[in-house]
Amino acid sequence: MSEASERNLEIVRRFEDEFKNKENHAVVDELMSEDFIHHALFPGLPPGGEGVKAVGQFVVGAIRDISINIDHMVSQDALVAESNHRSGHTQRHRRADLMDRESLLPVVRRQDL
């Protein structure tokens, strides 16, 4: 695996851990470029990193103690694919096992721009 692919895997691992598991939404400012385009934004959310932070705050508010566990990750050039599973408790105090999900994440680091 190339050095760039290894670096991109580490960026995505760090994002998953910091942003989702540790609720450190400020990591968006460090890891994503200012012109980052979030392709899954919901209507009414701000563009770029601010929209990503808003989604993170919404999820944390709805599902306390959410936990993301990465099962598999692969990288080729600027793309990282991951398979993960999530769990946590909703505000109604019942367990919410969220569906396993595969993600294809383009990695754009600020220093690469």
Tell me the pLDDT tens digit for each residue of 65-90. Answer: 888 889 999 998 888 888 888 787 65
Burial class (CB in 10 A: 0-12, 13-18, 19+), 68: middle
The CA–CA distances, whole Å, from 64 to 15, 43, 52, 93 equal: 18, 24, 18, 9
CATH number of the domain encompassing residue 68 = 3.10.450.50
Specify the DSSP class assigned to residue 46: P
Q: Look at phi and psi of residue 69 and say left if phi exceeds 0, alpha if psi is from -120 to 50, else beta.
A: beta
Residue 41's pLDDT is what? Answer: 59
When mean pLDDT is compared across 8-12, 27-31, 70-74, 104-108, the lowest value belongs to: 104-108
Provide the whole-model pTM: 0.71
Tell me the pLDDT tens digit for each residue of 42-62. Answer: 778 888 889 889 888 888 888
Q: Are 86 and 70 in contact (CB under 8 A)?
A: no
Distance CA 113, CA 103 (A): 23
Our count of domains for the chain comes to: 1
Distance CA 52, CA 55 (A): 5
Residue in the structure block whose two tokens are 């367990």: 95
Give the domain extent around 13: 3-112
Residue range 82-111: mean pLDDT, rounded? 53
Residue in the structure block whose two tokens are 């105090």: 93
